A and B are shown apart, each in its own frame.
Chain A
Amino acid sequence: MLTINCPWCGPRDETEFGFGGEAHRTRPADPSALSDAEWAEFLFMRTNPKGLHRERWVHSHGCRRWFNVERHTVTNEITRVYQMGSASEAAETAPAAEQAPATAAIEKQGSRS
C-alpha cells in the first residue's frame, strides 16, 4: 500500500485516496472546434508509460482536495507531489517518462541498500 503525501494533510495511507488517472490532460476550451479524431484523442488516449507517470489523486477520506503525483510505474516510488495548477512547473522539472526508464530507477534504488 502506497504512502501518499497529501499536500494539505501530510503522508497518509493509499486507502484514504482515490485515483484520477493521468494528470495534465486539460479539457479543450472549445470541444466543438475539434475533429472527431482530436476529440477521441482527448477522450480515450493515455500515455501509459513504463517509468515516471504524472497522475491525479484525490484525498477522498480527508480534505477532498485533488492534487498531482509523480509516480514510477515500475517501482511505485513517488518522486513528487504537487498542487493542481502548477502544471507548467511540473512539465519543466519532471523528466519525460522515456528518459527515465525503469532500469535507471532500479539502479538508483539499488544503490540505496
Chain B
Amino acid sequence: MTKAEFRTPTGGRIDRGRPVNFTFNGKALQGYAGDTLASALLANGIHLVGRSFKYHRPRGILSAGSEEPNALIQLERGNRTEPNLRATQIEIYEGLVASSQNAWPNVETDVGSINNVLSKIFVAGFYYKTFMHPQSFWMKVYEPVIRRAAGLGKAPVEPDPDFYDKMHIHCDVLVAGSGPAGLMAALAAAKTGARVVIADEQNEFGGSLLASRETIDGKPAADWVRDTVEELKRFPEVRLLPRTTVTGYYDHNYLIMAERRTDHLPRGLAPKVSRQRLWKVRASQVVLATGAHERPLVFADNDRPGVMLADAARTYANRFGTLPGKRAVVLTNNDSAYQAALDLADAGVAIAAIVDLRTQLGGPLAAQAKQRGIRILTNSAVTATYGAKRVTGVDVMTINGSGESVIGAPTKIDCDLVLMSGGWNPAVHLFSQSTGKLRYDDALACFVPNVSMQAERSAGACKATFTLAGCLAEGAAAGAEAAKAAGHGEGEVPALPSVERTEPQQPIRPLWVVPSTDLVGHGKAKHFVDFQNDVSAADVLLASREGYQSVEHLKRYTTTGMGTDQGKTSNVNALAILAKSLASPIPQVGTTTFRPPYTPTTYGVLAGRDVGELADPARHTPMHSWHVAHNALFEDVGQWKRPWYFPQGSEDLHAAVRRECRAVRSSVGVLDASTLGKIDIQGPDAAQFLNRVYTNAFLKLEIGKCRYGVMCKEDGMVMDDGVTTRLGPNHFLMTTTTGNAAKVLDWLEDYLQTEWPDLRVFLTSVTEHYATASIAGPKAREVVAELAPDLDMSAEAFPYMSYREAVVAGVPARIFRISFTGELSYEINVPAYNGLYVWEQIMRVGAKHGITPYGTETMHVLRAEKGYIIVGQETDATVTPQDLGMGWVVSKQKPDFIGKRSFSREDTSRSDRKQLVGLLTEDPNEVLPEGAQLTATADGHPPIPMIGHVTSSYYSETLGRSIALALVKDGFQRMDQHIFAPLGGKTVKCAVTKPVFYDPEGVRLHG
C-alpha cells in the first residue's frame, strides 16, 4: 500500500480510486493510476533506486522528468525487458515489474561500492591511465571487467514480441511541447485554419501547468489546460500527440517524433496495436516550446538519496500528491526554489531552512516565505550532507566575501530531503539540433536561442521566459507568426487569458561550485556535476589542469554529458566550472554539440516494420523456386539471392564444387545467370556512345556479334566489364556485373544527359525482363540443338562471340555464344515469365548428358582457371586494364574514350605497378587464403615490405591442385620467380605464373 504519510490527503492528478500494483526490486508495492514509477516509489518512501556508474554510490530520484540522470530502471523481464528507462517517465500499470541497475547483489548491499573507497583510481581519464599495463591485459582483463562493473542495464537477448510502425506527415505548424507556450501557439495557429501538430513527451498535455497552483482565466491552470485541449480537438486540422517525444530536428524542417502507444498499459494487452510509432514530419514552420530544466547545485556530497531538484519536489507534491520527504532543507541561488518551498510547506512538508547563496533577499516570494516563518539563511552554503542511503542532515556555513570559501562554524540541520535549485537551463536541444546558434545570457546565467537557421521560433521557458504571462503571450505570438509564414492568417494573435500578476524575479547568484570547508578535490567530499557518469567538479578541474581545455575534449576525457541523459542536468555546470578554471568567459568556452535523439529511443521504433524479411528486399530470379527445391545454398550478391552450390547427399561445399566443376569440364553444366545486369541501348548514336564508354572499339561491331568490353572511369581505373551484343543497326544489349548493374546505368545516364546530350541514345534496364541460363561444357551444343531444332548450331554457322534468335523449347529466345568458363557455352535468354519452364526443359533434355546445375562458387573456380577477372575481386578502383594484363582491350586507334587520357599519366603508366599474375603454391594442396599478403623474401626483420595480395584462390579440380590470382608489384617481371605468403605460423612459397591455368589457347572455347 502507498504509505499515507507520503501522500497529500487530497489533490494531484492521480486517481485515488484506482490503485495499481507493481513490483520494484522484488517488493510488491502500490501506487495510483496517474503515478509515474518515480512518484509511486516516493509515495512508498523509497528514494534509493540505483547505484552510480563508477563508484556505485547510492543514488535517489533527482528530477521529475526526462532529464533524470539517476533513476535508471530495468523494466520488465524476458523478451520485453528494457534497460535505462527513467523512473520519472515510466507510467505505472497493473503488474509492472521494475528493478535497479548496476548493483550486485542488490541496490541496498552493493559489492561494487568498494569503488567509492578506491575512488582515487577512478579520476577523469582513468580508462587511459590506470589500466595501461601490461598491454595484453586490456582486451582480456581490464575491458571486460570495466564493462561489467560500469554497466548500465542489460539488453534483452530474446526477439522483441512487439511491433512498431511509422507515419510520414506534412504540416503547416509543428508545436513541440504543450506547456502554456505550446498550447497557446497551437491554438493561435489552429485558429488560422493551419494544419497543426502538437506533440508532448508526457502522458497528458499541460507541461509545467500540471504541477502549478497558479490560475488562468480565474480557474486552476490544469482546468484551463483541459479546456484548451478540448478546444484544440475541435479543429479538424489539428493533431494532438501526447506521449510523443520530438526527438530529432534535421535539415529543411524535417523532424522525427517517437510516440509510445502502449507502454503505459500492461504488457501484451493490446497485441494488435503497434507498441511505438515513429512520426516523420516535414513541417513548414516549427514552434519550439520545450520548456526548461532546473540545474542542480554542485555542492559537497550533493548526490545522496533525498537530494532532489526543488521544482521536481514541487511537481511530486502538486501533480502526484506525493511528498518526497517530511523535513526539507532548500539550497538555492535564485527565486524559483521559494515557490517550491511554499508549495511543499502547504502540502505538509516541514521546511527546516532555506539556504540561499545570495547575499540579499528581496521580492514577494522571499517575503511570503518569511511571513510563513520559514528560516532563511542568506549568503550561506550547504557544506556537507549526512546519511548513507538517505540524507539525514546537512551542515550550513556562511560564505566568505569572495564566494570561494566558507567561514565560521557549521550549523547542522536535520532533514530527510534537500531541495536544490541552481537556476534554469532552457531546453535548447531541438533548437541546437536545427543548427540554431545560442547566446549566453549573463543575467540569467544560461544559454538561450539566438540565431535561427531554420523556419522555427522558440517560445516560453525554452527561450528563458519564465513567467506564466510571458509564456502564454510568446506562445500565442509564435503560433500566429508561424501560421502566417506557412500561408495561413495575417499573424493575428488571439486574446490572451488573464493570469495573476507576477513580480520580477530577483537576480541569480551563479556560484558554479558551492564553497565548502575543503577545496574541491581535497577532502573526502565529492561535488558531483554529472550524476549519471559520476563526474565531479574535481574531475573537471583535473582535466583542465591536464590540458583538456576545449569543452569537446573535456566531455570526452571526463565523459561528462555522455550518458543516456546527454547531460541535460550537467552540461552547463561542467562548462561553467571549466570556464572558471580557465578564467574565460562562459560564452568563449561554449557548449558541446546537441545531437538527436533528445531522449533514448528504441531500435524498434526506428526500424518500424523493416525487420526480418522486410529488413532488406531480396531479389529472386524466375528459377528461384527450382533452386530451392533442388537443395541450393544461396549467396547474396547485392540484393540478389544466387545459388552458391547444389550439394547432393552429405556433400560439403568443396565436394559439391569439385563435382560441379568436373561436370562442366567433362560434360555439361548449367548456371542461372539471370542476375547479370542487362541494359537495352537504342538510338542512332548508340554505337558512337558505346565507343566512348568502353575502352575498346564498338563502332564497327557487326550485327549479331558479341564483344567483351571494359569500362573505366576518367581516372583510368576499371569500373565494370561485360559483353555487349549488337542486335540491330541502332540496337545493343549490354551486360554488366550483377552488383554494378544500377551503378553502371546511372553512370551511363550521367554521361548521356550531362556531357553528351547531343547523342540520341536511350537506355533501359531490362535485367528483370529476361531469365538467363548459361549452358556450358563439351555437351552444351547437343543440349541446345535438341531444344532449338531449327537453329544451325555448327561452329561455322554459330561461332564463338555471336548471337542468334531462335525458338528454344517453344519459347522465343536470344542465344549468346559467350563463355565465362572457358568451355563451349551458350547463354539462353528468354522472357522472365518463361524462365522456369525453359530451365526445366534444359534439365530434362540435358539429363542424358548428366547436366549439372552449378552455382557461383563453381563459376568462380572455372573462371579463375581461365584467368577471367571479376570486377571488385581482382580490381579495387586502383587497377587499370593494363595492370590486369588486358592491354588488348584498350584501343590504340580511338582518339578518345572515358579513361584514355589517364593511361598516360605518370603514375598510371609506370611499368612497376601492381599487376595481375597467377600463383602456384609449392604444395599443390595448399590453398592460400584470399587477401593474403605477399612478400618478396621468405624471412627478414619486420617490417617486410608487402608487394601485393591474393585476390582469388581455389582448389582446382580440373588441374588437381590449388591456383591463385594475385596483384603483385612489378608482377609481369616476376614470371617464374618465387614470392612468399607469410601466414602467421608458416610462410608459403609460391611460383609466379601467367594468370591463365587452363586451355590457354582457347581450343575448348571455339570448339
A18 cross-chain contacts in B, Cβ below 8 A: 746
Tell me if B746 and A30 are in contact (CB < 8 A): no
Q: In the complex where A1-B252, A3-B252, A75-B453 touch, is A36 in contact with B905 (Cβ < 8 A)?
A: yes
Tell me if A36 and B753 are in contact (CB < 8 A): no
Tell me if A1 and B251 are in contact (CB < 8 A): yes
In the bound complex, CA of A1 to CA of B309 (Å):
37
In the bound complex, CA of A66 to CA of B901 (Å):
25
A58 cross-chain contacts in B, Cβ below 8 A: 746, 749-750
Tell me if B754 and A56 are in contact (CB < 8 A): yes
Bitwise interface map of B from 430 to 459 toward A, beta carbon under 8 Å scored 1, else 0: 000001010000000000000111111100
A42 cross-chain contacts in B, Cβ below 8 A: 714
In the bound complex, CA of A30 to CA of B900 (Å):
11
In the bound complex, CA of A112 to CA of B454 (Å):
9
Tell me if A32 and B901 are in contact (CB < 8 A): yes
Q: How far, in Å, is A83 (CB) from chain B's closest CB?
A: 10
The answer to whether the Cβ of B546 comes within 8 Å of any Cβ in the partner chain is no
The answer to whether the Cβ of A10 comes within 8 Å of any Cβ in the partner chain is no
Tell me if A32 and B451 are in contact (CB < 8 A): no
Closest to B454 in A: A109
Tell me if B451 and A65 are in contact (CB < 8 A): no
In the bound complex, CA of A43 to CA of B904 (Å):
14
Tell me if A76 and B753 are in contact (CB < 8 A): no
- Which of chain A's residues 7-38 have a Cβ closer than 8 Å to chain B? 13, 18, 20, 26-27, 30-32, 34, 36
In the bound complex, CA of A36 to CA of B750 (Å):
25
Q: How far, in Å, is A60 (CB) from chain B's closest CB?
A: 7
Tell me if A66 and B452 are in contact (CB < 8 A): no
Tell me if A43 and B714 are in contact (CB < 8 A): yes
The answer to whether the Cβ of A2 comes within 8 Å of any Cβ in the partner chain is yes
Bitwise interface map of B from 892 to 905 toward A, beta carbon under 8 Å scored 1, else 0: 00011000111011
By CB atoms of chain A within 10 A, which of B252, B282, B895 has the most? B252
B684 cross-chain contacts in A, Cβ below 8 A: none
Tell me if B906 and A36 are in contact (CB < 8 A): yes
Tell me if B252 and A39 are in contact (CB < 8 A): no
The answer to whether the Cβ of B122 comes within 8 Å of any Cβ in the partner chain is no
Tell me if A31 and B901 are in contact (CB < 8 A): yes
Closest to B897 in A: A31
Bitwise interface map of B from 335 to 377 toward A, beta carbon under 8 Å scored 1, else 0: 0000000000000000000000000000000000000000000
Tell me if B252 and A66 are in contact (CB < 8 A): no
Q: How far, in Å, is A30 (CB) from chain B's closest CB?
A: 7
In the bound complex, CA of A93 to CA of B455 (Å):
25
A20 cross-chain contacts in B, Cβ below 8 A: 750
Tell me if A64 and B749 are in contact (CB < 8 A): yes
The answer to whether the Cβ of A94 comes within 8 Å of any Cβ in the partner chain is no
Contact of A113 among B457, B896, B905 (CB under 8 A): B457
Tell me if B750 and A66 are in contact (CB < 8 A): yes
In the bound complex, CA of A113 to CA of B453 (Å):
8
A109 cross-chain contacts in B, Cβ below 8 A: 451-454
The answer to whether the Cβ of A45 comes within 8 Å of any Cβ in the partner chain is no
The size class of the interface chain B forms with chain A is 20 to 34
Q: In the complex where A60-B746, A84-B754, A85-B757 touch, is A110 in contact with B905 (Cβ < 8 A)?
A: no
The answer to whether the Cβ of A91 comes within 8 Å of any Cβ in the partner chain is no
In the bound complex, CA of A27 to CA of B131 (Å):
56
Contact of B905 among A13, A39, A60, A84 (CB under 8 A): A39
In the bound complex, CA of A110 to CA of B435 (Å):
12
Tell me if B715 and A84 are in contact (CB < 8 A): no
Closest to B908 in A: A36
Tell me if B252 and A43 are in contact (CB < 8 A): no
Closest to A78 in B: B252
Bitwise interface map of B from 456 to 497 toward A, beta carbon under 8 Å scored 1, else 0: 110000000000000000000000000000000000000000
The answer to whether the Cβ of B254 comes within 8 Å of any Cβ in the partner chain is yes
The answer to whether the Cβ of B833 comes within 8 Å of any Cβ in the partner chain is no
Contact of A66 among B454, B715, B749 (CB under 8 A): B749
B454 cross-chain contacts in A, Cβ below 8 A: 109
Tell me if A2 and B750 are in contact (CB < 8 A): no
The answer to whether the Cβ of A96 comes within 8 Å of any Cβ in the partner chain is no
Q: In the complex where A76-B251, A110-B452 touch, is A43 in contact with B902 (Cβ < 8 A)?
A: yes
Q: In the complex where A20-B750, A106-B437 touch, is A39 in contact with B902 (Cβ < 8 A)?
A: yes
In the bound complex, CA of A20 to CA of B455 (Å):
27
A3 cross-chain contacts in B, Cβ below 8 A: 252, 254, 282
Q: How far, in Å, is A89 (CB) from chain B's closest CB?
A: 16
In the bound complex, CA of A78 to CA of B307 (Å):
50
The answer to whether the Cβ of B755 comes within 8 Å of any Cβ in the partner chain is yes
By CB atoms of chain B within 10 A, which of A18, A31, A109 has the most? A31
A26 cross-chain contacts in B, Cβ below 8 A: 755
Tell me if A31 and B900 are in contact (CB < 8 A): yes
Q: In the complex where A34-B901, A58-B746, A60-B746 touch, is A1 in contact with B452 (Cβ < 8 A)?
A: no
B896 cross-chain contacts in A, Cβ below 8 A: 30-32
The answer to whether the Cβ of B137 comes within 8 Å of any Cβ in the partner chain is no
A40 cross-chain contacts in B, Cβ below 8 A: 905
The answer to whether the Cβ of B626 comes within 8 Å of any Cβ in the partner chain is no
Tell me if A65 and B906 are in contact (CB < 8 A): no
The answer to whether the Cβ of B138 comes within 8 Å of any Cβ in the partner chain is no
A43 cross-chain contacts in B, Cβ below 8 A: 714-715, 902
B126 cross-chain contacts in A, Cβ below 8 A: none
Tell me if B749 and A2 are in contact (CB < 8 A): no
Closest to A33 in B: B901
Contact of A106 among B250, B451, B457, B905 (CB under 8 A): B451
B900 cross-chain contacts in A, Cβ below 8 A: 31-32
A112 cross-chain contacts in B, Cβ below 8 A: 452, 455
Tell me if A113 and B251 are in contact (CB < 8 A): no
Tell me if B755 and A66 are in contact (CB < 8 A): no
Tell me if A39 and B757 are in contact (CB < 8 A): no
Closest to B485 in A: A112
Q: How far, in Å, is A24 (CB) from chain B's closest CB?
A: 10
Q: How far, in Å, is A42 (CB) from chain B's closest CB?
A: 8
Tell me if A2 and B455 are in contact (CB < 8 A): no
Tell me if A66 and B714 are in contact (CB < 8 A): no
Q: In the complex where A58-B750, A84-B753 touch, is A1 in contact with B250 (Cβ < 8 A)?
A: yes
Q: In the complex where A75-B453, A113-B457 touch, is A32 in contact with B895 (Cβ < 8 A)?
A: yes
- Which of chain B's residues 237-292 have a Cβ closer than 8 Å to chain A? 250-252, 254, 282
In the bound complex, CA of A55 to CA of B523 (Å):
61
Tell me if A113 and B902 are in contact (CB < 8 A): no
Q: In the complex where A30-B896, A39-B905 touch, is A113 in contact with B452 (Cβ < 8 A)?
A: yes
- Which of chain A's residues 57-113 have a Cβ closer than 8 Å to chain B? 58, 60, 64-66, 75-76, 84-85, 106, 109-110, 112-113
In the bound complex, CA of A32 to CA of B453 (Å):
47
In the bound complex, CA of A62 to CA of B437 (Å):
36
Closest to B452 in A: A113
Tell me if B753 and A39 are in contact (CB < 8 A): no
Q: How far, in Å, is B744 (CB) from chain A's closest CB?
A: 13
B251 cross-chain contacts in A, Cβ below 8 A: 1-2, 76
Closest to A20 in B: B750
In the bound complex, CA of A92 to CA of B318 (Å):
65
A32 cross-chain contacts in B, Cβ below 8 A: 895-896, 900-901
A113 cross-chain contacts in B, Cβ below 8 A: 451-452, 455-457
- Which of chain B's residues 81-134 have a Cβ closer than 8 Å to chain A? none
In the bound complex, CA of A13 to CA of B900 (Å):
37
- Which of chain B's residues 292-337 have a Cβ closer than 8 Å to chain A? none
In the bound complex, CA of A84 to CA of B751 (Å):
12
Enumerate 26 A-B pairs (CB-CB under 8 Å) in ascending A order: A1-B254, A2-B251, A3-B252, A13-B282, A32-B895, A32-B896, A36-B905, A36-B906, A43-B714, A43-B715, A58-B749, A58-B750, A60-B746, A65-B753, A66-B750, A66-B753, A76-B252, A84-B753, A84-B754, A109-B451, A109-B452, A109-B454, A110-B451, A112-B452, A113-B451, A113-B457
For the complex of A and B, list the 9 residue pairs with the smallest distance between their C-beta atoms, beginning with the closest: A113-B452, A31-B901, A110-B451, A66-B753, A1-B254, A3-B252, A76-B251, A27-B755, A113-B457
- Can you add 17 more A-B contacts, CB < 8 Å, to A18-B746, A84-B757? A3-B252, A26-B755, A27-B714, A31-B896, A31-B900, A32-B895, A34-B901, A36-B904, A36-B905, A36-B906, A40-B905, A60-B746, A66-B753, A66-B754, A76-B252, A84-B754, A113-B456
